[in-house]
Amino acid sequence: MIEIDDVSFSYDRGKTNTLKNISLDILEKQVTSFIGPSGCGKSTLLRCLNRMNDLVDTSCITNGEIRIMGHDIHGKDVDAIELRKQVGMVFQKYNPFPKSIYDNVAYGLRIQGIKKKDQLDQAVEKSLRGAALWDEVKDRLKDSALGLSGGQQQRLCIARTIAVQPRVILMDEPCSALDPIATAKVEELITELRQEFTIVIVTHSMQQASRVSDHTAFFYLGELIEYGPTDRVFQNPEQKRTEDYISGRFG
């Protein structure tokens, strides 16, 4: 689904590489976790997958390429905005627009040119159901999204993301600002979304990575140290650095 092929990345026009020769294949309709200590490059790599790093002027891929469905996402014919329709993103801090619940979910669809109310209604309901939020908000769709709880706002952001039917959903520490109940709901949602979407999640929670992901990649100082099935990585890692990190010996 996503092929990361010998990718190096720099934030300073190639003077130093934040990511060093990363190669890994992310499988379709599976959840892949990126773990590692702060500064290891996991969020940087995540943001490479929908070219969010393009927003940093001095950043560049210095080696290798990233292919999604076989297409180089940095190819000349690839428009970053179009790419982000296919590769949606959910951020650490939930960030609904200061609009109604309905308008938040309909936002991307309207940009895509969908104007018919029936069509929008259906898509909004489907997305809110997909984000396990419909039953909680169906009677107040016109209320402000900012009146929802933190967990509901994050699920609304997920609904907004899936409304435009991306192939891939990137999640950058999606539960770090949520309480345990809201976290559990988002994790449950992630396992359900896997049936339809390819999900890549950056998390600092080892328990979360082990619970929700099929594959786990461990990064350290910009290098991919280990990548494999989550059960194996957490029960019997091949690399000592992985074991030291996941068991809390790092430092």
Nearer to other proteins, 13 or 240 (CB): 240
Binding-site ranges for other proteins (CB under 8 A): 206-207, 210, 234-237, 242-244, 246-251
Rank residues 179 and 238 by Cβ distance to other proteins and give the closer one.
238
Q: Taking the C-alpha atoms of 246, 28, 63 and 59 in order, what is their torsion angle to the nearest 10 degrees? A: -80
Between 52 and 209, name the residue whose CB sits nearer to other proteins: 209
Question: Please, which residue, 59 or 242, has the CB nearer to other proteins?
Answer: 242
Which residue type, as a one-letter code, is found at position 45?
L
In this structure, what DSSP letter does residue 40 have?
S
Q: What's the token pair of residue 62?
A: 């210095």
- 89 sits in which H/E element: strand 87-90
3-state secondary structure of 26: strand
| Closest distance to other proteins from the beta carbon of 248 (Å) | 5
Question: Taking the complex as a whole, how short is the minimal distance between the CB of residue 17 and other proteins, in angstroms?
Answer: 28
The CB-of-175 to other proteins minimum distance in angstroms stands at 16
Q: How far is the CB of 243 from other proteins (least distance, A)?
A: 5
HSE of 192, CA atoms in CB hemisphere, 13 A: 15
CB neighbour list of residue 23: distance below 8 Å, 6 or more residues apart:
4, 5, 6, 7, 64, 224
